[in-house]
Every structure is written in structure tokens, then in C-alpha cells.
Amino acid sequence: MKRGVLIVLSGPSGVGKGTVRKALFEEPDIDFQYSISMTTRQPRNGEVNGEDYFFVTRDEFETEIANGDMLEYAEYVGNYYGTPKKFIDQTLAAGRDVLLEIDVQGALQVKEKMPEGAYIFLTPPDLAALKERLIGRGTEAMDVIDRRVSAATAEIRMMANYDYAVVNDEVSLAVNRIKDIIKVERLRVNRVLPEYIKMIEELEA
Ligand code: 5GP
């Protein structure tokens, strides 16, 4: 059976990963399975357990880690977020495609374990706009703004670890770019060759 394609959508905080991911799954021709993350943060209004996240306690999360059941996990603003391993393994083995939407720390961990995936970095259109937005908001002191901008630029440098960069200038445009990437991924030799090797083996049997 041909293995499914793993797509990892990631990028700096505040770039709009969640919005783009939701819009992508609304497309009629997207047949990906979404890997539902586990988190210790409280559900927001309207969020459903087992749909948006698996909401668990810190104890439960730490048990999962200890049992080796997380493909990756990270702590973000005081809460754990992680990807349950079993769903990914089973879904890919069944030949179905999986999409993960996770932060930059998590994506690096997944890449070490599953380098064959397609790693997409969602990026803001420009950094000057980010700084202006923070200044314009007028809620933070200049030194805080500078810290935030340098945190964002450090995250942008992480782009070097990815295969594709998608600018999130407009959600619908970002979605189309991701769909193009998915199409190209299916044509990569390392996905197609195993099938031909099998055919050759059958011919020669
Ligand atoms: P939020 O609390 O806004 O839903 O998510 C906060 C951040 O955690 C976002 O950047 C989101 O992409 C990231 N995130 C969500 N699920 C996971 C996960 O399973 N692993 C990691 N490493 N990050 C995640």
C-alpha cells in the first residue's frame, strides 16, 4: 500500500496558521486527515473536545509523554501542545494523507523523525508591517515592541529548516499556494519510485 503524504504547516506565532488551515479544509477537493493536537490549555468558546483539540490535564499530558505516545510536543505560553503519534502512524500506513498545524519548535521535532514530509513555513508579508502594527496599537512600551519584533525575526530565521515558504498576504492566496505544493508533492520521485520498484519485482518474479 502506498503511504500517505505528511504535510506540516507551521510558522511564527501570530502569522495566521489556524485561519489558513481552517480555510484549506473548507476546500472541496482537500481529502487530508487533520491531526488533532492535544493541549493542556482551556477550551475557548465554541471549541469542541476531540474536534479542535483533545483537552487534557497536565498530568494526563505528562503521562502521554512518559509513555512515548507523542510524536512531538512543545510548551507555548505556559501550556503543553503536542501531536499524538498513533493517529499519524496508522493514517499514513493506511495510505491516507495527514496535515499537522503546529508551532516551529514542534515542526523541527517532526522533521527529525519524518524527513520525508513536506514542511511548509507560513510567513508574514513583511516585517516592517509587523513592527508598525505593534507601534500603532499603542499598548506596549518600545522595549517590549523591540523584544516582540526580535522574537518574530528569530522565528522567521527558522524558515531555513523548511521545504516551502508560503506568504500569508491573503488567506485565499495562501490556500491556493498550499494546494499547489500538495500537487507537486505527489509527483516527487521518492513517492512514485517505490511503486515502480514493486512493479519491477513483480515482472521479474
Ligand atoms: P492556540 O492556543 O492558539 O490554539 O495555539 C497556539 C499555538 O500552538 C499555535 O501556534 C499552534 O499552531 C500551536 N500548536 C497547536 N497544536 C500544536 C501541536 O500539536 N504541537 C505544537 N508543537 N504546536 C501546536
**pLDDT tens string 64-123:** 999 999 999 999 889 999 999 999 999 999 999 999 999 999 999 999 999 999 999 999
> Separation of 157 CA from ligand 1 center, angstroms?
19
CA distance 186 to 31: 13
CA distance 111 to 147: 28
Question: Which has the minimum average pLDDT: 26-30, 187-191, 199-203?
Answer: 187-191
Domain boundaries, the chain: 1-32+97-205, 36-96
Confidence category of residue 133, pLDDT binned at 50, 70, 90? confident
Phi and psi at residue 31, to the nearest 5°: -115, 35
Given this model, what pLDDT does residue 142 score? Answer: 84
**DSSP summary character for residue 163:** S
Given this model, what pLDDT does residue 77 score? Answer: 83
Evaluate: CB of 185 within 6 angstroms of ligand 1.
no
Cell of 132: 508598525
Which residues make Cβ contacts (< 8 Å) with residue 11, sequence separation at least 6? 17, 104, 121, 122, 123, 155, 168
Thinking of the domain 36-96, which architecture would CATH place it in?
A: 2-Layer Sandwich (3.30)
Given this model, what pLDDT does residue 137 score? Answer: 75
**pLDDT tens string 5-27:** 999 999 988 788 999 999 999 99
Neighbours of 95 (CB within 10 A): 11
**pLDDT tens string 135-189:** 887 777 888 888 878 887 888 999 999 999 999 999 999 999 999 999 999 999 9
Residue with CA closest to ligand 1 atom 22: 106
Thinking of the domain 1-32+97-205, which architecture would CATH place it in?
A: 3-Layer(aba) Sandwich (3.40)
Confidence check: pLDDT of 199 > 90? yes
Given this model, what pLDDT does residue 122 score? Answer: 96
Given this model, what pLDDT does residue 48 score? Answer: 97
Residue with CA closest to ligand 1 atom 2: 41
pTM for this model (two decimals):
0.90
- Which of 17, 102, 105 best tests ligand 1's pocket when mutated (most atoms within 8 Å of CB)? 102
